[in-house]
Chains A and B, each alone.
Chain A
Amino acid sequence: MQDSSVSRPVQKPSAMIEARSKVSTCTFQAEPHEPILYAALRAGVAVPYECATGTCGTCKARRTAGVIVRDWPQAPGNSYLRSERDEVLLCQTRALGECSFEIPGSVNLNSSLRIRPQFGRGVVTRIAPLTADTVELALSLDPALEFDAGQFVVLRVPHMPGFRGYSMINHPGSTPEAKFIIKRKPEGAFTQWLFARAKPGDPVEWFGPLGKAVFAPQEQRTIVCIAGGSGIASMISILEAGRSSRHFDHFEADLFFGVRTNLDMFYLDELHAFAEAFPDTLQIKIATSHDVPGADVQERYPRLSFEPGFPHEIAARDLAAKFAGRVAYVAGPAILVDVSIRMLISQGRLPVRDIRYDKFS
């Protein structure tokens, strides 16, 4: 309950949003500062999305009424829109008042999300270099973030428009501190800030958890994980969940982690500890696409294996007759996710429902 005796700055009221698909209609409130997609997800409305950051175009909708603001007119996902038809990306659109949107397709907007995403504040607690162009970022979070293994959040820093998606490394559950792996992008404002100016104490805004590529030990399935570069983050979270639930006591798992060269390897201590804990069931292989793995890493990490090549190609060969019945998790650069999915379908013969990925890079 508000204390009416306290003077407060004038707040713009939230707006009522109506989202209508061919099979369902939902209404929800959106704050003036938040993308309509985020407002929908907060309210438990299952608007389709994938990256939530303006790239993939999945949250396309047609405005049928109301006044809106488009936050990023140059968003790559705009190439899937026709502006003359009032089409927008809901992740890049805010409502200035009551609005209505049509969601294309036969989408059931009634959500079955286990955890509804929310906004939170974070503070940088640590930035630790992992390689020349990759760091581990740790944030203390308020409130704590509850998430499932494999999910991601979007982050934003003050005075810089737009959110960016990153997967949590942490053990899933509720965490007051989240860790992320972030690779420098030459033209990325967020990573320029992170690598050049960010310091402990800096504030960060987050929204999450997001993503559907979730690992659930209770499914009791053998798994295969294929990750490239910073895509290893969600796999670490999956390994954490598998370790604590003792999933790997009973079910095999193979992880293929692709990097470019020996100098790009990181988290070998952590991965070795996982492999050591489950020597009979957990196989972890590091694939170097542009180098031959050094003898020193092979000697230092005897429970890991190393091989030159791309991780999806090595996975195809190693698991040639062992894909059946597995659930596959894929994360990393978009092209690696694409070719891995092709391999899992064409060579692994996995049904699509057993291939889990979120493309948000």
Chain B
Amino acid sequence: MSAAVKEIDKVEMLRATDILQGTSDATLHKLAALAKPQSIEEGETLYAVGDPARSAYVVAEGRLRFILGGDGRPAAQGTVIGAGDILGWAALLGDQPRRIATVIALEDCRLLDIEGEALLRTLEEEPRSGYLVMCRIAKMITQSFLEQSAMLEGVT
């Protein structure tokens, strides 16, 4: 992705994601200012299980695949994710978080990289948007936990 991606394009990319829907323009502009364009080629690993979780990513173009764990996202969303989705929320959780999934590009992808600590600070500064986003993350983790429990019920 060209480094010359316009700020307004970043805002629209962020606005299009489920997890940031309804957040204020001010929040989106702050996040857009933090977002760094990144490209990843088909077959390359964005991050692997156990890596330090420093950033969350918005997918602007292309598809990626989760392997293991689903990164806390409900299984119903599948293990393939594409444009408009956000991944890597472990960057917002806990102290020195580590990745619980491996993510590999199924095709050439363009992403926005948002550093986790900076993202958290922004959400603190924008409490209404921050609350909305954290509610969605909590819901995602709860769903993931419930689905995992249900799946475990059916095995061994």
Contacts and interface: CB of A to CB of B under 8 A. Distances in A.
Q: Decide whether A and B assemble into one complex.
A: yes
Nearest to B102: A352
Nearest to A228: B156
A128 B49 CA distance: 39
Given A107-B43, A352-B48, A352-B50, A335 B65 contact: no
B30 to A, nearest CB: 30
14 contacts: A104-B43, A105-B104, A106-B44, A228-B155, A229-B156, A259-B156, A289-B156, A310-B152, A310-B156, A335-B148, A336-B156, A338-B148, A339-B152, A342-B100
Given A80-B106, A346-B100, A336 B152 contact: yes
A103 B50 CA distance: 25
Nearest to B151: A335
A223 interface: no
Main DSSP-derived SS at the A contact region: mixed
B45 to A, nearest CB: 8
B152 A104 contact: no
Interface string B90-114: 0000000010100010110000000
A204 to B, nearest CB: 26
Interface in B142-156: 148, 151-153, 155-156
Nearest to A229: B156
B50 A351 contact: yes
A254 B136 CA distance: 39
Interface in A14-62: 22, 57, 60
B80 to A, nearest CB: 7
Contacts of A341: 49, 68-69
B152 A105 contact: no
B7 interface: no
Given A80-B80, A346-B100, A339 B49 contact: no
Nearest to A58: B67
Contact of B152 (A60, A289, A352): A289
Interface string B54-79: 00000000000100110000000000
Contacts of B104: 105
Contacts of B43: 22, 103-107
Nearest to A57: B65
A351 B153 CA distance: 28
B18 interface: no
Nearest to A259: B156
Contacts of B44: 105-106
A65 interface: no
Contacts of A192: none
B25 interface: no
A352 B155 contact: no
A22 to B, nearest CB: 8
A345 interface: yes
B42 interface: yes
Contacts of A208: none
A228 B152 CA distance: 11
A260 interface: yes
Interface in A230-274: 258-260, 264
Nearest to B78: A79
For the complex of A and B, list the 7 residue pairs with the smallest distance between their C-beta atoms, beginning with the closest: A104-B43, A105-B43, A352-B50, A333-B155, A228-B156, A335-B151, A258-B156
B106 A332 contact: no
B65 A332 contact: no
B98 A345 contact: yes
A82 interface: yes
B65 A336 contact: no
B98 A335 contact: no
Contacts of B98: 345-346
Interface string B38-52: 000011110011100
